[in-house]
């Protein structure tokens, strides 16, 4: 069951990332068609913008994310012995390098991992999680975060953030260009055939809806990787009950005050405890009850 779930979630993640890439190229094609009369040029511009954003995000992700969440780095084991040793042990079991360790001053129990790859990873936990969880529960949480590192989820999330940022930039570019009249001049040079009008309408709709689609894709990716990390944590600890108990305590807590909204998807649980509808379509995390139900079957 465990390995089947891991394989299934990896396939789903591949589908989401492929959809993300198609969305970026489709948006570029739409912008190129409406404003330049060349969808190929639009795709090329979208590809260049995406690469630039990826290089920026990958080069600075850890320090930027930790700064946004007001995390302080732990330099040695004397500063937080239990946390340091648990992360060290889980990294050894997961066969990844020891990540950098950070603590966030917040009473709400939570944690996340970030970085570009296992060699440049970092794990952050709140003071609340250190106070409320026992060693077995904390081991399950750390196993979850080390699994994000081992499975390269941290890189996937960084890429997803870069893709979402690139989409936002392209949409803003299109909006500004339209208001300056470039779109009108482009359309004035076209004939009034029904096919051309339909193409313009479809392109404009895609430009308008692309940010929403990007948000949904990013949230779907985050939810999928949480399920995978839960399963992989059990693989590392051989103890699903530890993570189950930890998730129950995390769920039964107040929202965080130190978390940054732009990085909320990184946390093991939604730091703002938002209640959502529409089958959690816009949730960054799967329901805790669903996660616990899956863990109980392992």
- Give the residue numbers annotated as catalytic, written as ranges: 145
Annotated binding-site positions for Zn(2+): 144, 148, 226
Could you tell me which residues are annotated as the binding site?
Answer: 144, 148, 226
Residues 6+ apart with CB under 8 A from 166: 24, 46, 49, 50, 52, 53, 54
In angstroms, the CA 185 to CA 60 distance is 40
Q: Among 221, 218, 230, which Cα is nearest to 291's?
A: 230
Q: Detail the DSSP E strand segments found in 116-247.
A: 121-126
Output DSSP code: residue 267. B
Neighbours of 138 (CB within 10 A): 22
Tokens in use for 205? 């709709």
Contacts of 67 (CB under 8 A, 6+ apart): none
Q: What is the CA radius of gyration of the chain?
A: 22
Distances (CA, A) of 258 to 37, 64, 71, 126, 199: 47, 15, 9, 9, 46
């Amino acid at each position: 069951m465990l390995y089947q779930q891991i394989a299934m979630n990896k396939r789903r993640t591949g589908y989401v990332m492929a959809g993300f890439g198609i969305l970026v190229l489709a948006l570029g094609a739409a912008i190129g068609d409406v404003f330049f009369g060349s969808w190929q040029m639009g795709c090329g511009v979208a590809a260049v913008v995406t690469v630039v954003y990826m290089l920026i995000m990958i080069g600075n992700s850890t320090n930027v994310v930790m700064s946004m969440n007001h995390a302080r780095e732990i330099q040695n084991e004397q500063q937080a012995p239990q946390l340091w040793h648990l992360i060290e042990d889980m990294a050894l079991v997961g066969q990844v390098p020891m990540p950098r360790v950070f603590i966030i001053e917040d009473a709400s129990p939570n944690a996340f991992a970030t970085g570009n790859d296992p060699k440049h990873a970092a794990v952050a936990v709140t003071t609340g999680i250190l106070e409320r969880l026992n060693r077995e529960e904390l081991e399950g949480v750390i196993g979850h975060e080390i699994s994000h590192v081992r499975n390269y989820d941290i890189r996937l999330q960084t890429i997803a953030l870069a893709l979402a940022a690139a989409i936002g930039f392209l949409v803003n570019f299109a909006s500004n260009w339209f208001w300056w009249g470039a779109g009108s001049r482009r359309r004035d040079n076209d004939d009034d055939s029904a096919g051309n009008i339909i193409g313009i309408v479809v392109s404009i709709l895609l430009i308008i809806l692309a940010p929403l689609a990007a948000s949904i894709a990013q949230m779907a990716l985050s939810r999928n990787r949480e399920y995978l990390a839960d399963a992989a944590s059990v693989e590392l600890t051989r103890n699903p009950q530890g993570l189950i108990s930890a998730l129950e305590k995390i769920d039964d807590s107040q929202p965080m005050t130190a978390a940054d909204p732009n990085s909320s998807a990184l946390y093991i649980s939604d730091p703002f405890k938002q209640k959502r509808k529409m089958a959690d379509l816009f949730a960054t995390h799967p329901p805790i009850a669903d996660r616990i139900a899956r863990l109980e079957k392992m």
